[in-house]
């Protein structure tokens, strides 16, 4: 089945550690997105990529980094510079201009 796969489902970060969240899609979508959701809040855009080897900062990019080396993959690294990383992280993709975004199941990140 086509879809977006995020892993792991739960992740724990130690102080000073970088962690990487995986997002893979087999929908042949060009555009991919990373969002952060804090409890009781809406989604805030971290980074997005419209095409392979290109990406742009969203509204809250500080402390995060991404890469887009393959169309199917858009990993997000939460660096040690992100002092408050505890949140629900959602990856999404879309297949064309003005089309809706579809989401993976999310990764819940906590601090140890």
Partner 1 sequence: QKEVEQNSGPLSVPEGAIASLNCTYSDRGSQSFFWYRQYSGKSPELIMSIYSNGDKEDGRFTAQLNKASQYVSLLIRDSQPSDSATYLCAVNDAAAGNKLTFGGGTRVLVKP
**Count residues contacting partner 1 (CB under 8 A)?**
26
Query: What x-and-dash track marks residues 11-50 binding partner 1 by CB under 8 A?
Result: --------------------x-x-x----xxxxxx--x-x
98 binds partner 1 (CB under 8 A): yes
* Interface stretch with partner 1, choices 19-27, 66-74, 77-85, 95-103 (CB under 8 A): 95-103
For residues 21 and 40, give the distance between their C-alpha atoms in angstroms, rounded to a whole number: 22
Question: CB-based contacts of 2: which residues, under 8 Å, 6+ apart?
Answer: 26, 27
Question: CB-based contacts of 42: which residues, under 8 Å, 6+ apart?
Answer: none
Contact residues toward partner 1 (CB under 8 A) are: 31, 33, 35, 40-45, 48, 50, 58-59, 90, 94, 96-106
């Amino acid at each position: 089945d086509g879809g977006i796969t995020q892993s792991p489902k739960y992740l724990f970060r130690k102080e000073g550690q970088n962690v990487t969240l995986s997002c893979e899609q087999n929908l042949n979508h060009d555009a991919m997105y990373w969002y952060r959701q804090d409890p009781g809040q809406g989604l805030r855009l971290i980074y997005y990529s419209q095409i392979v080897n290109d990406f742009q900062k969203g509204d809250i990019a500080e402390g995060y980094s991404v890469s887009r080396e393959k169309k199917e993959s858009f990993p997000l690294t939460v660096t040690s510079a992100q002092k408050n990383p505890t949140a629900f992280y959602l990856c999404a993709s879309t297949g064309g201009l003005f089309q809706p975004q579809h989401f993976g199941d999310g990764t819940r990140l906590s601090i140890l």
